[in-house]
Amino acid sequence: MSRIGKLPIAIPSGVTITVDSDVITVKGAKGELTVPHLSDVTVSIEDGNAIVTRKDDERIAKAQHGLQRALLNNAVNGVTTGFEKKLEVNGVGFRVGGGGQAIEMSLGFSHPVKYAAPAGVNLVVEKMTITVSGIDKQQVGQVAAEIRSLKKPEPYKGKGIKYADEVIVRKAGKTGK
């Protein structure tokens, strides 16, 4: 039995889950998310909990069991509290401006770099920190990864865009004689 899949998902007050044959809709205070309903598992709502069970012990059903529960749990957490990732910009002359749906960055290139976030993702800029927030965990992580890929941190001085909790392993530079 999947350790993740067998855990029930507590449904907070104000959250409604609608189970259809192909999608599961989760509505909450922050918005609405849809999760695909995988074929080899069933989702039932009992006593304020969502319970995911698999139909048989086939290999694909075992794989989908934990996946369905994780996707549904992320949707419930997203519509109640949301998700956020913080990015730090380090480097001499690097600047970040804007906010909302679009930011403009000066990252040492000959031109400013502009990034427009998709709908449902909000960007907040505070000094040299970018906060990516939204209700869809996958979309927030994807936007944060795309922003980081614009100027990855280098190992000698640590210049670039990094996650707030990321540790950059530094290399020793050249030794002068």
pLDDT given for residue 1 in this prediction: 64
CATH topology of domain 83-163: Outer Surface Protein A; domain 3 (3.90.930)
**DSSP, residue by residue, 64-93:** HHHHHHHHHHHHHHHHHT-EEEEEEEESTT
CATH of 9-80, one of 3.20.20.70, 3.30.2130.10, 3.90.930.12, 3.90.380.10: 3.90.930.12
pLDDT given for residue 71 in this prediction: 96
pLDDT given for residue 8 in this prediction: 94
pLDDT-flagged residues of the chain (< 50): none
